[in-house]
């Protein structure tokens, strides 16, 4: 037993190192420099995550601790709604007084995710008693998974797929752990707290396996006991506490969002390469937003799937699969969980290619709550990993089944055959997506220098005004790029924002209009040029500044803006 533990420990270290090496090969080492932030600017969602941290860091401590009034002044909002990886934002804010003005943690989050991805992959595969080398090679499939690479440094918090793998690991440990109440309460409770502290979209993904875990416990005992619900109670309680402490219940943010179904999983998603494959073409989608349901499996997995089918057929023919008979509860519940996740991800507008198949429901009440997770296509990710696990394990078991002799040489042949097969498939998997990997490497290989779009002398003069405290972005119709650029300027000049690019909308109209009715020298108002006419009755001095018009209660040295100029 001690020898096995030592062996597994080495596998955990090696798989984590594989994750680290893959990350550096793709993204380089510059992103790990905590004092280099140019690569985070002008990048849409990535910029949102970084600036959210910057504004939160600068604010005073509050209770709940995740709140700041720097982003929707004078209202408070939570760091949860900027997707800034709240657990790290809070941690580093505690040390903000010793950190330099420029500090980012997103590169280190990325490399940690890749390492943890490899770690949990090995934890899972070792539960099925497959060979050490096969396990290590199998972990590579998880580390280079297209779905996690697609999210990294786009929706950065959502690249924490190791949380999904942690839930899968706890689920497959049910047979060994379900009677150990203290351990299960602790593990599921920690997972619940981490979900709120990373990203809420992991809730339905991990929650599905929690439900599966509880169901397995009941089926295994063939009776209901209240103690089997305790992991769920722990999970929900810690999720609630973590969300509360981070301010998730203390803002005016709207929990649901419009457009349910637009971001669903297209049923072709497992085969739709979307620019990742050297061998296959992209398939049509019902609408562009279905990129959220990107779930391409890869050529290597396709080959392993065919091997898995052969294994299952042979086992059914022989009708004596010890593995299936022993683990029928986990298999049955796993299928139920997978079907549930696919239905959730593909709904309520179910599509294949560019065709609408049917609408699952038009219930306004159900839609209201379902819209909390509007981008339903993301919920397909756990199914990808379940497929990875099944095909890798079936590959190993197939050769054991075909060469089921007791002699040592046959056992060695089975292990060798399984290892060679998975190694070849791993090569095919990486080669299939290598074009996309090379593009990523080129993108991150060059060091970037961010150039502010605010070059007009008006901005320089405004930056010298010590009385300015608050920037008010007046427009209700804004592009995310515009408000993020303005937010960067406000952050550099230590001003608050009245609005921001939030993951969930926050009503700021009333506060904005109140500021316009009662302006003073602490406010800087920024307008879009095409909306200035309807604000001409404001008691402000107006000045053209690049693509915008700014309004102040004080006069600047620059020439005033006249409404008839445009």
Q: Are 431 and 280 in contact (CB under 8 A)?
A: no
- In this structure, the number of other CB atoms found within 10 A of the CB of residue 364 comes to 7
Q: How far apart are CA 500 and CA 353, in angstroms?
A: 35
**Domain final residue, candidates 250, 274, 302:** 250
Q: Do 258 and 245 fall within a single domain?
A: no
What pLDDT digit, counting tens, does each position of 122-141 carry? 999 999 988 899 999 999 99
User: Is 96 a domain residue?
Assistant: no
Number of Cβ atoms within 10 Å of the Cβ of 227: 13
532 within some domain: yes
In this structure, what are the phi and psi dihedrals at residue 277, rounded to the nearest 5 degrees?
-105, 145
Whether residue 117 is contained in a domain is answered as: no
* End-of-domain residue from the set 250, 276, 297: 250
What is the C-alpha separation between 522 and 465, in angstroms, rounded?
9
Strand partners, 440: none
Is 65 contained in some domain? no
Q: Are residues 258 and 233 in the same domain?
A: no
393 in the same domain as 267:
yes
**Is residue 112 a part of any domain in this protein?**
no
Question: Does residue 402 carry a pLDDT above 90?
Answer: no
The arithmetic mean of pLDDT across residues 254-270, rounded, is: 81
Q: Is the pLDDT of residue 1 over 60?
A: no
Domain stops at, among 216, 250, 284: 250
pLDDT at 363: 63
Do 304 and 167 lie in a common domain?
no
Residue 473 in 3-state DSSP?
A: strand
Banded pLDDT at 411 (limits 50, 70, 90): low
177 and 317 housed in the same domain: no
- 269 and 237 in one domain? no
433-457 confidence digits (pLDDT tens): 999 999 999 999 888 899 989 999 9
Which pLDDT does position 528 carry in this prediction? 86
- Shared-domain flag, residues 322 and 361: yes
Domain coverage including residue 525: 457-565
Q: Is residue 498 part of a domain?
A: yes
283/423 same-domain check: yes
- Residue 214 located in a structural domain: yes
Q: What is the DSSP string of 418-455?
A: HHHHHHHHHHHHHHHHHHHHHHHHHHHHSPP----S--
The mean pLDDT of the chain is: 89
- Pick the range with the lowest mean pLDDT from 5-9, 53-57, 202-206: 5-9
Radius of gyration over alpha carbons of the chain, in Å? Answer: 27
Q: Is residue 70 part of a domain?
A: no
Q: Are residues 327 and 222 in the same domain?
A: no
Q: Are residues 301 and 402 in the same domain?
A: yes
Convert the pLDDT of each residue in 98-115 to its tens digit: 999 999 999 999 999 999
Secondary structure (3-state) at 523: strand
Q: Are residues 541 and 506 in the same domain?
A: yes
Total structural domains in the chain?
A: 3
Q: Are residues 359 and 246 in the same domain?
A: no
Report the pLDDT value the prediction gives residue 406, as an integer from 0 to 100: 47
């Amino acid at each position: 037993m001690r020898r096995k533990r030592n062996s597994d420990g080495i596998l955990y270290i090696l798989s984590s190192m594989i994750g680290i090496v893959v990350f550096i090969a793709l993204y380089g080492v510059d992103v790990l420099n905590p004092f280099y932030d140019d690569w985070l600017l002008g990048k849409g969602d990535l910029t949102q995550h970084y600036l959210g941290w910057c504004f939160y860091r600068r604010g005073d401590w509050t209770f709940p601790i995740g709140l700041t009034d720097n982003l929707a002044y004078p209202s408070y909002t939570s760091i949860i709604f900027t997707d800034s990886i709240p657990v790290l934002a809070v941690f580093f804010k505690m040390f903000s007084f010793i950190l330099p003005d420029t500090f980012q943690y997103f590169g280190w989050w990325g490399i940690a995710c890749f390492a943890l991805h490899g770690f949990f992959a090995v934890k899972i595969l070792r539960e099925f008693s497959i060979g050490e080398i096969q396990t290590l090679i199998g972990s590579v499939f998880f580390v280079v998974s297209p779905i996690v690479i697609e999210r990294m440094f786009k929706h950065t918090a959502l690249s924490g797929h190791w949380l999904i793998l942690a839930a899968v690991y706890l689920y497959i440990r049910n047979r060994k752990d379900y009677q150990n109440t203290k351990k299960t309460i602790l593990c599921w409770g920690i997972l619940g707290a981490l979900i709120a502290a990373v990203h809420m979209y992991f809730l339905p993904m991990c929650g599905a396996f929690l439900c599966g875990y509880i169901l397995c416990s009941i089926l295994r005992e063939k009776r209901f006991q209240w103690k089997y619900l305790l992991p769920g109670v722990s999970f929900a309680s810690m999720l609630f506490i973590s969300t509360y402490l981070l301010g998730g219940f203390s803002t005016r943010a709207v929990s649901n969002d419009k457009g349910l179904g637009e971001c669903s999983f297209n049923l072709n998603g497992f085969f739709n390469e979307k620019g990742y494959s050297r061998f296959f073409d992209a398939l049509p989608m019902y609408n562009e937003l279905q990129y959220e349901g990107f779930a391409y499996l890869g050529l290597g997995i396709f080959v392993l799937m065919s091997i898995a089918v052969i294994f299952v057929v042979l086992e059914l023919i022989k009708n004596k699969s010890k593995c299936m008979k022993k683990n029928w509860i986990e298999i049955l519940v796993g299928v139920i969980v997978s079907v549930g996740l696919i239905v959730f991800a593909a709904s309520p507008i179910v599509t294949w290619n560019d065709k609408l198949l049917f609408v699952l429901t038009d219930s306004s009440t159900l839609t209201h709550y379902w819209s909390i997770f509007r981008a339903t296509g993301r919920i397909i990710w756990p199914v990808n990993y379940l497929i990875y696990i099944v095909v890798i394990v079936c590959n190993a078991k197939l050769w054991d089944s075909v060469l089921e002799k007791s002699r040592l040489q046959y056992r060695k042949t089975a292990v060798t055959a399984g290892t060679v097969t998975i190694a070849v498939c791993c090569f095919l998997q990486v080669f299939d997506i290598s074009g996309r990997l090379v593009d990523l490497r080129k993108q991150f290989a060059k060091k970037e220098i961010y150039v502010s779009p605010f070059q007009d002398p008006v901005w320089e003069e405004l930056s010298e005004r010590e009385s300015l405290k608050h920037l008010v972005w007046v427009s209700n119709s804004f592009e995310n790029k515009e408000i993020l650029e303005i937010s960067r300027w406000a952050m550099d000049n230590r001003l608050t924002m009245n609005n921001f690019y939030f993951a969930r909308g926050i009503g700021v109209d009333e506060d904005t209009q109140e500021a316009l009715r009662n302006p003073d020298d602490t406010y800087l108002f920024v307008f879009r040029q095409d909306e200035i006419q309807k604000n001409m009755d404001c008691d402000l001095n107006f000045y053209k500044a690049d693509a915008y018009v700014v309004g102040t209660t004080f006069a600047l040295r620059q020439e005033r803006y006249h409404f008839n100029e445009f």
